Amino acid sequence: MVTSIAVAGASGYAGGEILRLLLSHPAYVRGELRIGALTAGSSAGATVGELMPHLKPLAERVLEPTSLDVLQGHDVVFLALPHGHSAELAQQLDASTTIVDCAADFRLESAEQWQKYYQSEHAGTWPYGLPEMPGNRERIATSTRVAIPGCFPTGATLATLPAVQAGLVEPHLTITSVTGVSGAGKKAQVSLLGAETMSNAKAYSVAGQHRHTPEIKQNLQAFTKDSVSINFTPVLAPMPRGILTVASAPVKPGTGAEDVRRAYKRAYASETFVALLPLGQQPQTQHVLGSNLCHVQVELDETAGTVVMTSAIDNLTKGTAGAAVQCMNLVRGFDEAAGLPLVGLAP
């Protein structure tokens, strides 16, 4: 049985990363997985080799226009499209088609929050594609529709959830995430020009304005009865990819350093793609680049009375495309880790 796969938005950073991972997937190597239609918007008609020379095995493939006719008939469709473009296609594809959406269209449960941050009609909510969150792995595996998390919520959730779920902190979190420029996608924008980003760092969408703020809150609120508040600040850094997240929250009385450490060991003991680092070692983006790993550290600052939680991910791999392939593996019955690198690219 051969599984056929289409990638809509294949010319973007997320789409290209999905293809990079699929080309190393054991099922592809065995001939059990076939890469079918590759679509694009303004790049339709170009070859993969023209736009993404690093994907040599697909160099001669021509990108087709993104349409229902082109995507229909595949077993799996990855939607790597801008926010707001997935819903219409998804609603027209066959119910039996596995759809993995890398955009935000189906992440949020609250229609009010969606309309506030995305200014359009809420399309609904799909199972959330972060298997490491308790209960999610089972929901993903039994669904044909999966909403892949945002890259910032992935790093922030994995860094903070064990402390919040165990009730070790007051869930009033200050979160700062430093990101590479590829997180903004492959589009022409003055603020993303090399002259604007090299040797420069800047905060943006501060004070609750970033679209990923309600997603982070949604993830944490599901695991505590206390009211969660998030002060989230993204920072653009002069690097192509990677996200370093630093979060802190007030520690609850009676909580010791061992209690905090124990909660994280318990949460991630059986997780292939989350590594709790030894004490004294901090996550670094260079150690996870190109991999599907999330490195996590947690420490108790007794002087300040806070728990400090940090994580590092590759925004294009674990933060987007790696999570998409991981979820496809669960839905289609492949080994969850199939095709997903456990080794980073440092230095």
**Active site residues per annotation:** 151
Tell me the Ramachandran region of residue 12: left when phi exceeds 0, alpha when psi lies from -120 to 50, beta otherwise: beta
How many angstroms separate the CA atoms of 72 and 322, rounded? 23
Best CA proximity match to 300, nearest among 266, 229, 250:
250
Best CA proximity match to 179, nearest among 140, 144, 159, 153:
153
How many angstroms separate the CA atoms of 263 and 13, rounded? 35
Neighbours of 298 (CB within 10 A): 24
Best CA proximity match to 156, nearest among 256, 101, 228, 259:
228
Would you state the structure tokens that stand for residue 83, as one six-digit string?
Answer: 């926010």
Q: Would you call the peptide bond into 134 cis, given omega within 30 degrees of 0 as the criterion?
A: no
Specify the amino acid at residue 340. Answer: L
How many angstroms separate the CA atoms of 155 and 163, rounded? 14
Neighbours of 94 (CB within 10 A): 12
Neighbours of 116 (CB within 10 A): 12
From residue 4, alpha-carbon distances to 28, 32, 34, 329 in Å are 10, 9, 5, 13
